[in-house]
A and B are shown apart, each in its own frame.
Chain A
Amino acid sequence: MTLPRVSIQHDDFDVGRELAALRADDGAVGAVACFVGTVRERSGAAADTLLMELEHYPGMTERAIEAMIDAAHQRFDIRGARVVHRIGALAPLAQIVLVVVSSAHRGEAFAACQFLMDYLKTQAPFWKKEHRPDGSAEWVDARVADDAALARWGLHSGNAA
């Protein structure tokens, strides 16, 4: 069974199952790298963030990440890559995003995983809104540091600045 390369979903994901699925039956794989992004407790206090709401652009988000995975295959000698991103209301500590990359050797897997995450942070249409216990809510600001992270790969971001 071949999994889609991109899944945008409300449901949580099982990291172990995703890692196993990506390298299943591929004897050329010698390395699997993964990144999991989770909902932070603001200022370290769980009470400060009640919920993180994730919005996306159905259709475009999937296409954008597919193109990023194509770019990763062009840049790095990798066997496979998959991205899972959750949407909807997520509580602190919840998993938000998963990037998994398989390759023959670790270097390419680590690099491609970081590349995909840097790319996704600044070029995939998702928006986070933070809901607080007092009923207030605020859209999360984009970070210039994320633009700088993409610049390391020779790519212009143009997101936060």
Chain B
Amino acid sequence: MKISVRYFAALREALGAEESVQLVSGSTLGGLRDQLIATSQRHAAALRRGRLLRCALNQVLSDESAVLDDGAEVAFFPPVTGG
């Protein structure tokens, strides 16, 4: 299945604004993060475990246990700092 991945703030600067990823069906958001980490050194550094990141599934804050559907929009970003 195909997943659209978006990045914001420091992650966008490191990895670009978005990319499309092929995943086996039934993958979780955490599984997607692991697969991305394996993609390149840049991904590994930006998405490394231990770095506090937040994620959204279809534009709603989510966690890594969430199961992804084909066509899902996932976003990774640093802790938010608005207001």
| Number of A-B contacts defined by CB within 8 Å | 78
User: Within 8 Å CB of B10, what residues of A?
Assistant: 127, 139
Specify the chain B residue showing the minimal Cβ separation from A85: B82
User: Within 8 Å CB of B52, what residues of A?
Assistant: 160-161
Q: How far is the CA of A158 from the CA of B8 in the complex (A)?
A: 18
B65 CB → nearest A CB, Å: 13
**0 or 1 for each of B59-83: is its CB under 8 Å from A? (1 = yes):** 1110000000000000101111111
Specify the chain A residue showing the minimal Cβ separation from B83: A121
Q: How large is the interface on B (under 10, 10 to 19, 20 to 34, 35 or more residues)?
A: 10 to 19
Q: Is A127 within 8 A of B80, CB to CB? A: yes
A110 interface residue (CB < 8 Å to B): no
Q: How far is the CA of A127 from the CA of B82 in the complex (A)?
A: 6
Q: How far is the CA of A161 from the CA of B75 in the complex (A)?
A: 19
Given known pairs A55-B8, A60-B59, the reply for A127 and B77 (CB within 8 Å) is yes
A112 interface residue (CB < 8 Å to B): no
A156 CB → nearest B CB, Å: 11
Q: Is B81 within 8 A of A126, CB to CB? A: yes
Binding site for B on A (CB under 8 A): 37, 54-57, 59-60, 63-64, 85, 96-97, 117, 120-129, 139-142, 158-161
